[in-house]
Structure 1
Amino acid sequence: MPFFATQTTSSFRRKITVGLGALAALALTSCGLTQASSTEGDASDKTITVIVTESAPYQEPTEIARELLAEDGWELETTYVTDIVQPNQVVSQGEYDANYFQHLAYLRQFNADNGTEVEPAFSTYYQPSGIFSLQYDSFEELPDGAEISLAVDTANNGRGIKLLADHGLLEIDESVPVTELSQADIIDNPKNFQFIEIDQQSSAHTLTDVDAGFAFARLVAEAGHDVHDVALALEEDDDVRRPYTNVIAVQPGEQDSEKTQALQRAYQSPEVQEWFAKYLDGAIEYNDDITTENAQEIWSEFTAE
């Protein structure tokens, strides 16, 4: 998975050296990240460090949260990144207090694949997804052998497959949950669709290169398309809502900490809720169902599935 440059906003500038080698040595070589946790346990510490995806649904609510936290005497130090690997690594290592970039399904899969220990603290929004096409207006128009893009990461890979199966275009093993579904679970592909797996963040921009593709509705809207005009199908199954709810995540047991409680008050504030209602005409849904009070119970149930 490629890595990209980072942007940092804080009272001092922190530099993250990106690259696969840097990740492996992050805990040992990154002085800036070590400093972020150097005051851990200090009751007078009023600084919260958060690593965040550099895109609007994460960045804008974070800037609102920064202002609200400042009113209560907290300083929010933020590092904005464009990859989806660093945030869990540095929170698991205790170098950041929290991250904001992922849904529950991705977090569960990342922990399993990487041996990290990161848990949800509270939720912020649910992001609907779908199958979109810039060339065809319906599934019926898709030709035999059509090229269809899917998210390459395991947590999202099955969402496109399930949508195609729900509309009668594939036969799949129905016993496999959507969070674990993959091409290996396709029993019959009568139209001989050719699947291309791509990075989820590129999904909307690569729609011009395929006949149809799975993408987050938000990314499609941000790419300048009318979501409903180019959608062949949107997710409507309630079973996918919980796994794909986005959360602020922390180290295990930190849900009850003073810092996490302060973050929740800011991110689950009326100001943030209002921002989500206005963004892209409500293309993504504000969601505060998960809180610091129920997060560990929900996470235990979710990881036991």
Structure 2
Amino acid sequence: MPRTLTSSGVSGALGLTGATGSLASSPLGRRGLLLGGLAAVGTFTLTSCGLADAVGDDDRTISMIVTESAPFQDPTEIVKDILAEDGWELETTYVTDIIQPNQVVAQGEYDANFFQHIAYLRQFNQDNGTDVEPAFSVYYAPSGIFSLQHDSIEDLPDGAQIALAVDTANNGRGIKLLADAGVLEIDESKEVTELSQRDIIDNPKDFEFIEIDQQSAAQTLPDVDAGFAFARLVAEAGHDVAETALILEDDEDVRIPFTCVVAGAPGFQDTEKAAALQEAFQSEEVQQWFEDYLDGAIDFTDEFTLDTVEPIWEDFTA
């Protein structure tokens, strides 16, 4: 019996993680559950044959909620086929909401989610009193400062308009890139995940920062001198990443917070379901998909595993 998830429809940060497209137009979305309206963020309803169906009574059934976006959705469909060969059934719900995937996992309605990097997960837990944990990594989405108007950071004029991500988890990434390039001076004691415009000590060229929804970053590039964006979104918008990039992220301290993971409630890491998901998501088939997608604009990574993720997460949240 089909399940329906009603949601606030808050669209993705993130790159946090980000949705591209709508459930109505996506074939995969139609196989998942349709996203509906909700009166207030933080309230949700599952209408189905009952919660037992939503979770799955069968020991060999895994329920997952996933962002309706190619880097999350397409690998998950590959994983579904791999798991089926081993006798598992992966039940997937595809949504454009970045709020409910953690809520429903925290409350036990789903086994796991796949839509976020760990910087967003940490912020969400802090803001909402949840305790969702990363289980293993799947990919890292590089970002950078891009421009359709200028060829280098040095070419940016005084008073240039620069777009930054409005969400807390990504806002500081653009600021740090500009600081690393020597055109801003920032409070170096702040982690990239905590940086904001308040931490800019000196802005010698009087750049004007415009904060926008991260998912609109690539579409906004024609209207600004430069902007922070994910390389994936720039490529999806039809721009050449190499030609439009003024700076690309290349910092291990930044890579870890912005690695995208499969996550679950406490204890999920120790389950057979988690082990089966990790084997499938970190398979050669999924790795090949990332290598082929947009000429490798996204980096597959199996750095976080069920055996190594706990100390990484503890250090990151300390």
Give TM-score scaled by structure 2 length: 0.88
Alignment check: 8 A CA contact 1:126 1:245 kept: yes
Whole-angstrom CA distance in 2 between matches of 1:81 and 1:13 = 8
- Please state how far the C-alpha of 1:107 moved relative to its aligned partner: 0.8
- Please state how far the C-alpha of 1:34 moved relative to its aligned partner: 5.9
2:76 match? 62
2:187 match? 173
* Structure 1 residue 24 corresponds to structure 2 residue 42: yes
Alignment check: 8 A CA contact 2:113 2:263 kept: yes
- Please state how far the C-alpha of 1:122 moved relative to its aligned partner: 0.3
Alignment check: 8 A CA contact 2:33 2:95 kept: no
- Please state how far the C-alpha of 1:144 moved relative to its aligned partner: 1.4
Alignment check: 8 A CA contact 1:33 1:95 kept: no
Corresponding residue pairs, total:
299
Q: Cα gap change, 1:36/1:136 in structure 2, threshold over 3 Å: closer, same or farther?
A: farther
Q: Cα gap change, 1:263/1:248 in structure 2, threshold over 3 Å: closer, same or farther?
A: same
1:35 match? 51
* Structure 1 residue 77 corresponds to structure 2 residue 77: no
Whole-angstrom CA distance in 1 between matches of 2:248 and 2:314 = 29
Whole-angstrom CA distance in 1 between matches of 2:196 and 2:141 = 20
Q: What amino acid is the match of 1:233?
A: I
Alignment check: 8 A CA contact 1:14 1:33 kept: no
Please, which runs of 5 or more residues in structure 2 have no aligned partner? 1-7, 12-21
Whole-angstrom CA distance in 2 between matches of 1:63 and 1:69 = 10
Q: Cα gap change, 1:37/1:24 in structure 2, threshold over 3 Å: closer, same or farther?
A: farther
Q: Of 37, 62, 72, which residue of structure 2 is paired with 1:48?
A: 62
2:272 match? 258
Q: What amino acid is the match of 1:31?
A: T
Whole-angstrom CA distance in 1 between matches of 2:138 and 2:49 = 25
Q: Of 209, 215, 236, which residue of structure 2 is paired with 1:201?
A: 215
1:164 match? 178
Q: Of 10, 20, 39, which residue of structure 2 is paired with 1:3?
A: 10
Q: Cα gap change, 1:115/1:245 in structure 2, threshold over 3 Å: closer, same or farther?
A: same
Whole-angstrom CA distance in 2 between matches of 1:20 and 1:211 = 38
2:166 match? 152
Q: Of 211, 216, 220, which residue of structure 1 is paired with 2:230?
A: 216
Q: Cα gap change, 1:12/1:247 in structure 2, threshold over 3 Å: closer, same or farther?
A: closer
Q: Of 302, 312, 315, which residue of structure 2 is paired with 1:288?
A: 302
Q: Cα gap change, 1:192/1:270 in structure 2, threshold over 3 Å: closer, same or farther?
A: same
Please, which runs of 5 or more residues in structure 1 have no aligned partner? none
When the two chains are superposed, the root-mean-square deviation of aligned CA atoms in Å is 2.2
Whole-angstrom CA distance in 2 between matches of 1:25 and 1:188 = 42
- Please give the per-residue CA displacement for 1:204-250, whole angstroms capped at 9, x wherever unaligned: 11111211100001111111111010001001112111111110010
- Please state how far the C-alpha of 1:31 moved relative to its aligned partner: 2.5
- Please state how far the C-alpha of 1:13 moved relative to its aligned partner: 6.0
Q: Of 222, 226, 237, which residue of structure 1 is paired with 2:240?
A: 226
Alignment check: 8 A CA contact 1:124 1:246 kept: yes
Aligned counterparts, 1:110-129, within 5 A: 110-129=124-143
Alignment check: 8 A CA contact 1:16 1:33 kept: no
- Please state how far the C-alpha of 1:2 moved relative to its aligned partner: 5.7
Q: Cα gap change, 1:50/1:187 in structure 2, threshold over 3 Å: closer, same or farther?
A: same
Q: Cα gap change, 1:51/1:2 in structure 2, threshold over 3 Å: closer, same or farther?
A: closer
- Please state how far the C-alpha of 1:30 moved relative to its aligned partner: 2.3
Whole-angstrom CA distance in 2 between matches of 1:149 and 1:85 = 24
- Please give the per-residue CA displacement for 1:24-60, whole angstroms capped at 9, x wherever unaligned: 331xx323496366656x5x43221111111111111
Q: What amino acid is the match of 2:266?
A: P
Sequence identity, in percent?
66
Q: Cα gap change, 1:97/1:52 in structure 2, threshold over 3 Å: closer, same or farther?
A: same
- Please state how far the C-alpha of 1:111 moved relative to its aligned partner: 0.9
2:259 match? 245
3-state SS of paired residue (1:289): coil
Q: What amino acid is the match of 2:69?
A: S
